[in-house]
Amino acid sequence: MPRLLSTALLMRRDPRLLKLPPYLSLLCIVVGVAWLLMLPLDDYSRRTYISENALLPGQVHTYFGGSDQNVFRAYRHEVDALKDKSNTEINDELENIFRGIGLKVGRQNYTYHSAGNTYSGENVYAILQAPRGDATEAIVLVAAWKNVKDEFNRNGLALALALTRYFRRWSLWSKDIILVIPPDSRMGTQAWVDAYHDAHDASRVASLPIKSGALQGAIAVDYPQDGRFESVHVVYDGVNGQLPNLDLINSVVNIASGQMGMGSSLQQMWRHSDKYDDRLKTMLRGMLNQGLGHAAGPHSCFIPYHVDAITLQPVGQGWHDEMGLGRLVEGTFRSLNNLLEHLHQSFFFYLLMHKERFVSIGTYLPSAMLIAANFTIMAIFLWIKSGHVEINSPSKETKSKPATTETSKAVEEKRGAAAERDLLLPLSLVAGCQFLGALPLFIFNHTPSNLLAPIFAIFSLINLTLPPLFSHLLQARRAQDKPITLQHYNLSKSFSLLLLGMFLSSLATLNFSLAFLVGLLATPLSFTRPWPGNAIAQYAYIALLNLVSPTTVIAAGAAAWARYGQGEMGVVQAVTEVLEEAAFGWDVWGMYTPLVIWCVWWPAWLVGSVVVLGQPGTAIKGDTKKKVL
């Protein structure tokens, strides 16, 4: 192996090759993006298929309906009667109904604090013990009192109650069925599932009084709209961009379209012509949701615990009634009930671009990896360049001549000195910036929500002034003894890009979309260099960098959301809500998107800007070297 490597690595010293890397990394970026855009084409995406044979979706008759509709209506009356009651009263009533059906009931209190607000509530849940079963496995049915948009989920609740009562009549369940009714969709399920796995902070979240076996899957029903519906919208994004097993989505889609004859849609693409643009749009929306990594529905909190979960939302005006959705859930539960093993066959890493088309990790990962690779390439290139930086320094002839005449010993020593890299300053600069990243992270996670917007504004201003400040400080500090050489800048950039590439490539395996988006926005960083003479270029590039700085991107995103998102709101309010959501995710869901932005992206951006503003003292390199000697 060393032999091969020596062949490969000796080439790196070829001066002609030394010109190549910038173009190479540019190529990486272009190919990476192009790769992503190619994915929706038929040749690169695949049709979905069920790989877990035990699921047998749509192979069973579903009997929910008939007189169960009368029961459903009755339950809906009960639910309506509770609409304006307090959380506790609601749970008391629900508990009565559950006990009437003959279930084991438990309740759980929780309180969360985030961005100065306090969120609290009480979950109620009921366990339908599988007849002949042994509390080893369980399936979860979630019907939140309010959905993510704070709409009253009245039909969903009534349906869940009617279904549970219907399920109790069957003797074929091999797994317990747990019906969870959290008061809201954002933290109730989180508290519940945390406590179920004893990963909860006992001071904020109460433990569960009764438990069942290992959770095998979870379906959340979100049915606020009245009347009949046309198709069901399958929400599958989990916290931190984790996804449920593809088999689960496939079976639901399969049952819905194959057995019930109802349409199904993804990522709010109500009308999906299975063409390139729609596929691309679906994929990009999916990537955006994944990259943000927030909880898209009550199901999201299950996924980090390796419990595959989705939310079903009836949408549109059609001829399917509540019983239809009930049969869909019944069919899905029968499929999950068939499972012998935990879902593991199919994909966990995929991008869906149509309910029946997807790309798997092997196909899409290269695009993110290429983006990450471009940083690494630049890092290696700069390292090598800094290795014999003096070649391109003007004073090289004056140096090389005596060298040839001197004795080997002297050459030896000089050489040692010339190959010397002054690592201290670059390392401390990069490390300092990295640690500095903890500051905004802390600030934005501990500011009360009403102050978020002003603090953000202040921070953005500081962010503008930081790079000039830093580079000025550097110049000042090093002016007297050693000026800052080009090598210092190259090395700092090299290290920061190395770190960036490393973080992004690790992140790409955890949350592909986030890595891709951050990588894309950070691409200008790989082409930063000091322009000692050329002030225009310098300021142009600084302007560009400021356009893609984290703060600008956040503000722009918030503005876009305010403009096109649901509900009318001003940009300020939008910024507040975005930051609030981020803090909430950080505190409640353990969402690490803020960490990535402030501790991975921002430091790299900072170093990049400092490099651009750098004024390397090339004129006095001569005595620099004498000093080093």
Partner 1 sequence: MRSFLSYIIPLFLLSCQVFASDYYEQLNLKPLPHSALLASFDFRSNTSLSQFEAQNFRYFPRSLGQILQHVGTRELHLRFSLGRWDAASWGARPWDGTKEGGTGVELWAWLEADTDEEADHKWLTLTNALSGLFCASLNFIDGTRTTRPVMSFISEGDHPNSTLANMHLLHGILPREVVCTENLTPFLKLLPCKGKAGISSLLDGHKLFDASWQSMAIDIRPVCPSDQECVLEIEQTIDMVLDIERSKRPRDNPIPRPPPGHDLKCNSSKPYHAGDTCFPADSIEGQEWALDQVFGKTMKGTCPLTDPDVPPVCIQAPDSRDVYTSAGVTELKTPSGLSRCYKVPSDSEFSLVLPRMSHEGENAKTNADEMVEPETPLLYAERSFTGHGQERGGVQSILTNPSPDTEVEFIYMETLPWFMRIYLHTLKTRIEGISGFNEDVVKEIYYRPALDRARGTQLELRMRIPPASTVFLTYDFEKSILRYTEYPPDANRGFDVAASVITILPSTAPNAPPARRKTSNLRTTSLLLSLPTPDFSMPYNVIIFTSTAVAVAFGGLYNILVRRFVAADEGPAVAGGLKGKIIAGVSKLAAMFKGAKGKVE
Partner 2 sequence: MNHGKMHLQETAGLYATAAALRLALFTLFPALPDLLTGRVEISTPVTSFKRLQEGLFLYNHNVSPYDGGVYHQAPLLLPLFSLLPDPSAYPIFTYVLYIMVDLLSAHALYKIAESGEAASSRLFTSARKDRRWSGYVVAAIFLFNPFTIATCLARPTSVFTTCAILHAVAKAIYGTPFTAMLSLSFAAYLSMYPILLLPPLVLLAYDRQHASNRILSLLQFAGTNVAAASVSLGALFAVSYLLTGSWEFMSSTYGIQLTLNDLTPNVGLWWYFFIEMFDSFRSFFLGVFWLHLSSYVGGLSIRIRSQPLAVVTLLLGIFGIFKPYPSVSDASLFFAMLPLFRHVFPLMRYSFLTASVVLYSTFLGPAFYHLWIYYGSGNANFFYAITLVWSLGLSLLVSDMTFAVLRDEWEVERPEMVGKEIRQI
Binding residues for partner 2 (CB under 8 A): 1-2, 5-6, 9, 242-243, 304, 306, 342, 344, 348-349, 376, 379-380, 383-384, 408-409, 411-412, 415-416, 419, 498, 502-503, 505-506, 509-510
In the complex, the smallest distance separating the C-beta of residue 352 from partner 2, rounded to whole angstroms, is: 15
Of 43, 226, 271, 340, the one binding partner 1 by CB under 8 A: 340
Q: Is 68 in the site for partner 1 (CB under 8 A)?
A: yes
| Cα separation, 373 vs 24, whole angstroms | 10
Element (H, E) at 520: helix 512-522
In the complex, the smallest distance separating the C-beta of residue 214 from partner 1, rounded to whole angstroms, is: 5
Amino acid sitting at position 434: Q
Helices 154-169 + 68-82 axis angle, to 10: 140
Query: How far, CA to CA in Å, does 137 sit from each of 51, 128, 470?
Result: 21, 12, 58
In the complex, the smallest distance separating the C-beta of residue 341 from partner 2, rounded to whole angstroms, is: 12
Of 152, 305, 527, 561, the one binding partner 1 by CB under 8 A: 305
Q: 13 or 627: whose CB is closer to partner 1? A: 13
What is the maximum span of the chain, computed from C-alpha positions, in angstroms? 104
Q: 73 or 113: whose CB is closer to partner 1? A: 73
Q: Is 75 in the site for partner 1 (CB under 8 A)?
A: yes
Strand 263-266 to 357-360 pairing: unpaired
In the complex, the smallest distance separating the C-beta of residue 67 from partner 1, rounded to whole angstroms, is: 4
Q: 65 or 524: whose CB is closer to partner 1? A: 65
In the complex, the smallest distance separating the C-beta of residue 437 from partner 2, rounded to whole angstroms, is: 16
Sequence-separated contacts (24+) of 357-360 with Cβ below 8 Å: 357/40, 357/45, 357/46, 357/47, 357/48, 357/274, 357/279, 358/45, 358/46, 358/48, 358/246, 359/39, 359/44, 359/45, 359/46, 360/46
User: Which among partner 2, partner 1, none contacts residue 376 (Cβ within 5 to 8 A by kind)?
Assistant: partner 2
Helices 438-446 + 424-436 axis angle, to 10: 10
Q: 273 or 400: whose CB is closer to partner 1? A: 400
Q: How many CB atoms lie within 10 A of CB 10?
A: 9
Q: 400 or 428: whose CB is closer to partner 1? A: 400
Nearest residue to 15 (alpha-carbon basis) of 392, 380, 374: 392
CA 206 remoteness from chain centre: 28
Q: Is 388 in the site for partner 1 (CB under 8 A)?
A: yes
Of 51, 69, 109, 120, the one binding partner 1 by CB under 8 A: 69
Q: Is 509 in the site for partner 1 (CB under 8 A)?
A: no
- Look-up of token digits 């590439």: 501
Q: 164 or 242: whose CB is closer to partner 2? A: 242
Which residues, in sequence order, are bridge partners of residue 146?
152
User: Which among partner 2, partner 1, none contacts residue 391 (Cβ within 5 to 8 A by kind)?
Assistant: partner 1
| Cα separation, 215 vs 368, whole angstroms | 33
Q: 146 or 294: whose CB is closer to partner 2? A: 294
Interface mask (CB under 8 A) for partner 1, residues 104-143, using x and -? Answer: x------------------------x-xxxxxxx------
Task: Assess contact for 86 and 183: CB atoms under 8 A.
Answer: no
**Interacting residues of 620 by C-beta distance below 8 A, sequence separation 6+:** 483
In the complex, the smallest distance separating the C-beta of residue 387 from partner 1, rounded to whole angstroms, is: 9
| Cα separation, 250 vs 60, whole angstroms | 16
Q: 507 or 562: whose CB is closer to partner 2? A: 507
User: Residue 184, SS3?
Assistant: coil
Which positions lie near partner 1, rule CB under 8 A? 1-3, 6-7, 10-11, 13-15, 63-71, 73-75, 77-78, 100-102, 104, 129, 131-137, 165-166, 169-171, 197-199, 210-214, 305-306, 340-342, 344, 388, 390-391, 396, 399-400, 403-404, 406, 411, 414-415, 418-419
